[in-house]
Structure 1
């Protein structure tokens, strides 16, 4: 498989590109030097064979011109050494057959080692080594000796060249270019390995954070289940017992010989109804607590984390509040509520729930006015509550001032999370008002199609 270069920042990538262009120019100049020498040596040998004295001013032969043109093409092809190194190495071998030197073939062999599998490097290296040996041997035995490049390096003037000279020179050239390719390949692999290690380290860090958060969620879920769940269960049991006692007391009043007045019977009925509301509310709270604990333990599960409350459930929430004895006047007019984004609809439900809970906590006996209006055409959903403050809570704090509890703070965080806004405060008539505006978002098309 070809080796891929690791990603680099823009500044580093620019420097690398400049370095590649510099290497291309340098290698191209090396091939051009080989072409110039091979062309001049070819014409010099032909002139010596014809009995002429080689001279730099002698005109270039037609065959020499053809060799020069082929060599110039090889110089231009150096820039594609990374894209087609195998094919260009074979072209360089063919150039050796045309009396050119082996430089172009050796350069492409270097990039075969860098970018191609080892099996390609082996068979291409064998062919290039054979062509290089032929080119070196041809140069060493060339006549006259002045046209031989390698003879001037490995033999003294007039001394014969040993049979081992072509082998030594060929092995040295293969070792030089092949070793350079091996070094470049190793450096590229190390750079890629560094990127992979950094990526894996980041993934491990992310997984560690996820495991830590999941452990914390499990701990919180366990504490909530053991504490709040236990208390709700006790509340449900005692509410059931209270309901049974109220029913038994009502039966005793009916069976009493002297009878019972209307006030006593009404009191017993109200006690039974209140106990039933407490028991049903506690059971509903336990069920909702289990759902919330599942979300806390499995936040990524689509089935668990799916919204469970919609705008349609606001009616039941209002009925429960009225049944529990809360003096509530509600006006709800929402157009096409089913088209609202489910998470946003559940957030609206939770906001209404918290507003009613907050009013019940701080002004239990005061009538509360609840309004919810909006729709797709308006592009928003507006939720508001208003109630008179009891005398002990007057004068009221200014808007945004510190208040006991976290109800309004939690509502504001939820509203800001969905891109809405919230205002709250009391006016001169001691009416505490809360106004929440949420943007209207439609159900995602993909979600509709999936349903």
Structure 2
């Protein structure tokens, strides 16, 4: 059953109960399932209707139904409202109110028995004798009351089980969060010990080489290595901060506005890079621009590794509904680079692009060289 179906049932049930109480009260007053009354039919119908309405509203307030059941039973031996009131008393009333209800119900049954005994006839036979009065009291007071108490106890057990399950789930989530936090901290510590220390040494040696360089070209290369190393350290600290705390605030992330600086760094390493912008440039969402920047960065890193002397073209094409980024390079005229790599650069890049709904293609060009093509939704 869906939540919508449960809501419909929840709304219909009170009025269905009220209808049943009305019909049974009418049948009781006519003698079909009770003691026939000699009062006018409109009056009997009014009492039955009032009992049905009180039963339909019993979830909001029990006492109107209890009062209507007491009046109808003592006056007309009309029992349906009294049965419904006893059931609701078992499901809703606390201990003190429940004892008050039981005491009042016993008094009503005693009063009805006394009235029935003096009335004579069939009513005196059914309700006027002590044995029958006790039997009817047990059937119309005891059984519904016990059923209501059982339903309430069952609900309390289920509520306690549900609360316990939710508590266990919360504790499990908390333990998982703590385990993830500890693992992030461990990874951050290891990355700092293994990577940050060596990059710092590289920056220090580059700075020393810049100072003692025998010529200007070597000093410029050392300065570039030092700058790139410091930027790597900054990015590494940001990553370590995210690993240490899930709520860490990261610093400004690169966008297409930083692309020229990235290309200048590549040119300073001796690679010819040409940028080509096509279409009307416009401001895109930060995640789109950041993804495009990372595509170019990873593609240029691969050029450094595998084709350090190849001329490279970077195309940034603004399409109506997407941003297309192409990085293509010619065949290297010299020996390939000997830089180490994890082998997962393009795999991770493809996952990054697909996470924003884009597509990434990487492979050899038709003529020669290699190209990386990324199409990122930008509408």
TM-score normalized by structure 1? Answer: 0.70
Q: Does 2:256 align with 1:311?
A: yes
> How far, CA to CA, are the matches of 2:167 and 2:81 in structure 1?
40
> How far, CA to CA, are the matches of 1:393 and 1:12 in structure 2?
72
Pick from 280, 283, 300 the counterpart of residue 356 of structure 1: 300
User: Structure 2 vs 1, CA of residues 172 and 100 (structure 1 numbering), >3 Å: closer, same or farther?
Assistant: closer
Q: Quote the residue 2:237 is aligned against.
A: 290
Q: Does 2:346 align with 1:414?
A: no
> How far, CA to CA, are the matches of 1:237 and 1:184 in structure 2?
77
Q: Quote the residue 1:212 is aligned against.
A: 179
Q: Does 2:368 align with 1:426?
A: no
Pick from 158, 166, 181 the counterpart of residue 191 of structure 1: 158
Residues 133 and 167, structure 1, Cα contact 8 Å, conserved in 2:
no
> How far, CA to CA, are the matches of 2:80 and 2:367 in structure 1?
97
Q: Quote the residue 1:343 is aligned against.
A: 287
Q: CA deviation at 1:149?
A: 1.1
Q: CA deviation at 1:299?
A: 3.1
User: Structure 2 vs 1, CA of residues 136 and 30 (structure 1 numbering), >3 Å: closer, same or farther?
Assistant: farther
Residues 331 and 371, structure 1, Cα contact 8 Å, conserved in 2:
yes
Q: Does 2:324 align with 1:385?
A: no
> How far, CA to CA, are the matches of 2:293 and 2:260 in structure 1?
10
> How far, CA to CA, are the matches of 1:270 and 1:40 in structure 2?
113
Q: CA deviation at 1:305?
A: 4.4
User: Structure 2 vs 1, CA of residues 22 and 233 (structure 1 numbering), >3 Å: closer, same or farther?
Assistant: same
Q: Does 2:230 align with 1:236?
A: no
> How far, CA to CA, are the matches of 2:294 and 2:376 in structure 1?
13
Which blocks of at least 5 consecutive residues in structure 2 are unaligned?
Answer: none
Pick from 80, 91, 107 the counterpart of residue 84 of structure 2: 107
Q: CA deviation at 1:234?
A: 0.9
Q: CA deviation at 1:32?
A: 4.9
SS at match of 2:310: coil
> How far, CA to CA, are the matches of 1:133 and 1:290 in structure 2?
85
TM-score normalized by structure 2? Answer: 0.82
1:62-118 superposed Cα distances (whole Å, 9 cap, x missing partner): 447623542355257545443443322222233345434454134223213313555
Q: CA deviation at 1:365?
A: 1.5
Q: Quote the residue 1:55 is aligned against.
A: none
Which blocks of at least 5 consecutive residues in structure 1 are unaligned?
Answer: 1-6, 44-60, 156-165, 247-266, 395-402, 442-451
Residues 196 and 233, structure 2, Cα contact 8 Å, conserved in 1:
yes
Q: CA deviation at 1:236?
A: 1.1
Q: Quote the residue 2:309 is aligned against.
A: 365
Pick from 281, 286, 293 the counterpart of residue 228 of structure 2: 281
Q: Quote the residue 1:256 is aligned against.
A: none
1:412-434 superposed Cα distances (whole Å, 9 cap, x missing partner): 11111111112222235322122
SS at match of 1:148: helix
1:166-210 superposed Cα distances (whole Å, 9 cap, x missing partner): 689757854433222111111122223333333333333333333
> How far, CA to CA, are the matches of 2:90 and 2:84 in structure 1?
10
Q: CA deviation at 1:233?
A: 0.9
SS at match of 2:215: helix
SS at match of 2:64: helix
Q: CA deviation at 1:130?
A: 3.0
Pick from 417, 425, 438 the counterpart of residue 376 of structure 2: 438
